[in-house]
Structure 1
Amino acid sequence: MLYLIFWPILQQERPGLLPEKPVPVIFDENWVYQRPASRYLRARARGEAFGEDQRTRIPTKQSLETFARYLCNFLEWCAWARHPWGDVEYLDHLINGYQRHMESGIFSAEKRPLAANTINRRVDEACHFLSWAGRAGLRRHFKISARAGSMALGGMSSNRRTVEFNSRIGKVRPNPSALRIPTEEQVARWLRGVKIEKGLVKALMCELIIKSAIRREECAQWRIDTLPLDRNSWDVYGEKLTLSIEHGTKGSKRLGELKEEIGPRRHIVIPLELAESIHHYREFLRPKIRMKYVNAAINSNERRRRLKQVENRLFLSEHTGLPLTGKQLWKDWTEVKNKPYSGWSPHLGRHYWSCHTLLKLHRERENLLATGCAITSDWIVGNAQSDLLMVVQPQLGHIDVQTTNVYLRWLQKMALGIKHADDWMNNLEDLPSDAGGEHG
């Protein structure tokens, strides 16, 4: 049994009212409307799927599509395994059934084991749906096995706070050998391949992610004036430049003056050399690319309309002159022939930046020490924790305890020379991969 996602056509906006937000609906292959699943997605869209005491941020359209895809997959498994979702229990069916079938490859399109991150996200969404259904009276209460934990948040020590949370028991542990970060030489070769195969604009976007650790949606939503138009107003310190981003960032959204979604503002640092490349593209190449969109108009009236149309997004397709999306960026990033390795994605580009930044800071600190001074594991970890809080976390916008520990373990191995330098790529455990959705 297949389950299909449809996006309803919304009514036109009325003066004085905010535009309606589209929410996907689900039908099965016999065109039977899946009312509970669609109701759940509406609750998800309003941030109400987790109960009144656990209201969450309003998801984006892309996130809603991802939730709907995961939910369809779970419903397909229920039909395939002949377990009505109303009778599904956590350990007996989700962990020992749905999860194991994905791990073994029995329940997968290519009959191959799925990545741990993909499995965990699908099971998480099934848990959300079943828990909501229990609260809505559509099935009996759904009990999830979980353990309590805590996490330190905040980039500066004065702003740090600890939050309590429950972690689901039974998650699939990622295979360390399948989660790798490339060397600088591999990334340089890959970037050259992006430029040759996909064009200068996409190569510039990839370079921006690699050198700033922003998310791919933050890159796609980069505005013309994100880098200030006036070079004299650039906040430059040495060979780096500080600026702020708010379009495409994760967190609670608000509507801007142009009815565009704006997230929490975050300050990031980029190399001055990269800023100069962006500025050159903006001043000299982008206007020519935009004219491709204008000149493709079917008549003179449409051409005049397009000439007057304002497009604030910076990165445009060299073929159409239209803004490039996060999905297009992910597709081109992963399609390049000369990838560092299979599975290399924009999300892993954030981990690449983090690891190399920590190592660079360690090397700089190490060079300041007197010759012969002993480098201990405690010394490395203590300084790296400070670097994580002061440098890495503010740049990323988010970093969890699990990822922090992975970074620290990797840095210890690199700094203390426990393994050969080329072998460090095989030791990054528990880092989430990117399956095409906007996560992390």
Structure 2
Amino acid sequence: MNYGFRVVYSTPGVLESKGFGRVAHLPFIMDDRPGYHRLANQFLIDRGLGIWEPKQRGKEESALPPSSVTMKDYAHWLANFLEWCHVRAKDPLKANYKIDLIQHYQVEMQTGIWSRDNVGLKPRTINVRVSIAAEFLTWAADKGLREPFHIPKIIKTYSSYSPSSFSGRETKSVETRKGKVREEKRRLGFPQEVEIFDWLQRLNLRCTTEALIAETILETAIRRAEAAAWRVDTLPIDPREWRIVNPEKPIEHQAVLIDLRFNTKGPEYGRDHGDKIGPHGIIRIPMPLAQKLHVYRERVRPKALVLATRKAKSRSEAERIRHDAVHLFLNPRNGNRYTGDNIYDFWRSVDRPRGWSPHLARDFWACSVLWKHIQQYWSIVDRALNMKVDESVFKILQLQAETCIQLTIQPQLRHVSQETTIAYLQWLSDRLGINMNFHQNWVEQLSQDDLEDGI
């Protein structure tokens, strides 16, 4: 009987008890026997502990380990490649980049021959699978397990915003893997604001706590995983300790600085109460939202915590539950913390606009900020729309848009790829109804993989 390749995790505590705590959090691959795939799992261990990393090859300093989510993705992508090799009777240690990875594995995914539904896969899915397969084979070559593995590279050039440059732009070049499938660039579209408002109202009728979480995402552009990991004291308990960046403004226009470090995107530096400790970031939250969160913390959350402690069979167990309840948002039905998956589920639990998701809410926040900024230059916009103008007018608009993205949007989102910047600028062009030639002004559109200069 063929079981297929699959990704599994060890039972919590088992590996730690046997002295393998360093790798207990890592996924591992079972092959079709089923059996432990030693070669693939050694790669995942080296990758997961930062022992081997494509950019650090041959260097003495070790790399930061990838996050748990990234390692899970790596394992699934690699398992897919290894199963393809098994089904096609190919030895992965003898695979050739052009013939096996590109002309066969990649083409079969494009045409749907190698897919669950016999339908061609998305370019992004194909590219990440081929990339991790190439990483695995490069690692094997570095370990002396196969002959050298050659990946042809090409140089791509792009133009980016640079405040230190006289022209306001800087041309950069990056090296990227040859043979990647061209990915379609995102074209953003959002529901009408009244549709979003109505959806939020429906969610509020269902559960006020969940509506507050959704409002927090909408008002701050945090990720759903970050919202789930929001701590009781992420917003300081004492309002007198709130860091207000513009105290001279009316309260409705004030903003409070907040530190984020749990479940943030990027390297993983440890775990705390089930959450990844990630890179530190500082964001702004509107004062009206801060006041709502404070009221929830003081008046609503304690009731949910009581429900959680009722599960305890002893006073000491109840005290432990209270001590471990570090998360701000608790489910009012059972007192449990919310997870990122919980947020995704309740987001879709009421009638919603088509395609409306927590991730799209981040883009909606960014584009709303961008639109508000551009409206300050409405005289230029009006001139561009109603008169024949030279290219310099469009360049002024584009520079203003890029400045807003660089100085306001990017610090709040804490991760804006070149591809995302293009999507925001294209959305602005569509909203204005004018062609600002972004594709020509940005010499080359690159995905985040290209910018990271990875395999």
Q: TM-score, normalised by structure 1?
A: 0.81
Tell me which residue corresponds to 2:419.
402
1:338 aligns with 2:355: no
CA distance in 2, matches of 1:113, 1:187: 33
Tell me, yes or no, if structure 1 residue 123 matches structure 2 residue 126.
no
Match of 2:400 among 372, 377, 383: 383
Aligned to 2:262, the other structure's residue is in SS state coil
Mean CA deviation greater in 171-180 or 398-407: 171-180
1:314 matched to 2:328? The reply is yes
What is residue 452 of structure 2 aligned with on the other side?
Answer: none
Change (3 A) 1:321 1:163: farther
Give the alignment of 1:157-306 within 5 angstroms: 165-175=174-184, 180-196=189-205, 199-236=207-244, 237=246, 238=249, 239=253, 240-255=255-270, 261-297=276-312, 299-301=313-315, 303-306=317-320
Question: Do the aligned residues in 1 keep the contact of 2:309 with 2:322 (CA within 8 Å)?
Answer: no
What residue in structure 2 maps to residue 29 of structure 1? Answer: 32
The AA in structure 2 aligned to 1:316 is L
Q: How many angstroms apart in 1 are the aligned matches of 2:269 and 2:33? A: 39
Residue aligning to 2:9: 7
Query: Which amino acid is the alignment partner of residue 220 of structure 1?
Result: A
Give me the CA root mean square deviation. 3.6
Which residue of the partner structure matches residue 411 of structure 1? 428
Please give the alpha-carbon distance, in whole angstroms, between the structure 2 residues aligned to 1:73 and 1:256. Answer: 28
Residue 126 to residue 363, structure 1, CA distance change in 2 (3 Å): same
Secondary structure of 1:263's aligned partner: strand
Q: 1:189 to 1:99 in 2, by over 3 A?
A: farther
Code of the residue aligned with 1:212 in structure 2: it is T
Q: 1:270 to 1:43 in 2, by over 3 A?
A: same
State the TM-score, normalized to the length of structure 2. Answer: 0.79
Q: Which moved more, 1:176-185 or 1:225-234?
A: 176-185
Identity of matched residues, %: 31
Q: 3-state SS of the aligned residue for 2:29?
A: strand
2:18 matched to 1:41?
Answer: no
Q: Which residue in the other structure is 1:422 paired with? A: none
Q: Which of residues 318, 331, 354 in structure 1 aligns to 2:366? A: 354
- Segment of structure 1 superposing worse, 395-404 or 20-29: 20-29
Deviation for aligned residue 1:156: 7.5
Check the 8 A contact 2:261/2:280 in 1, yes or no: yes
Shift of 1:43: 0.8
Q: Are the counterparts in 2 of residues 173 and 430 from structure 1 also a CA contact under 8 Å?
A: no
Over 3 Å counting, the alpha-carbon distance change for 1:303 and 1:211 in structure 2 is same
What is the identity, as a one-letter code, of the residue corresponding to 2:221? A
CA distance in 2, matches of 1:184, 1:172: 36
Opposite residue 226 of structure 2, the aligned amino acid is E
Following superposition, the deviation at residue 226 of structure 1 comes to: 1.2
Contact kept? 1:403, 1:430, Cα under 8 Å: no
| Residue pair 1:13, 1:20 contacting (<8 A) in 2 also | no
What is residue 93 of structure 1 aligned with on the other side?
100
After superposition, where does 1:35-114 map in structure 2 within 5 Å? 35-50=38-53, 51-53=57-59, 55-114=62-121
Match of 1:328 in 2: 342
Deviations 1:78-132 (A, max 9, x none): 2233333223322323233333333333322233333333332222222222221
Give aligned pairs, total: 415
Q: CA deviation at 1:72?
A: 1.5
Gaps of 5+ in 1: 420-428, 433-440
- Find the aligned partners of 2:226 and 2:350 in 1 and give their Cα distance: 25
2:328 counterpart letter in structure 1: L
* 1:262 partner SS: strand
| Residue ranges of structure 2 left out of the alignment (5+ in a row) | 437-444, 449-455
Whole-angstrom CA distance in 1 between matches of 2:370 and 2:198: 22
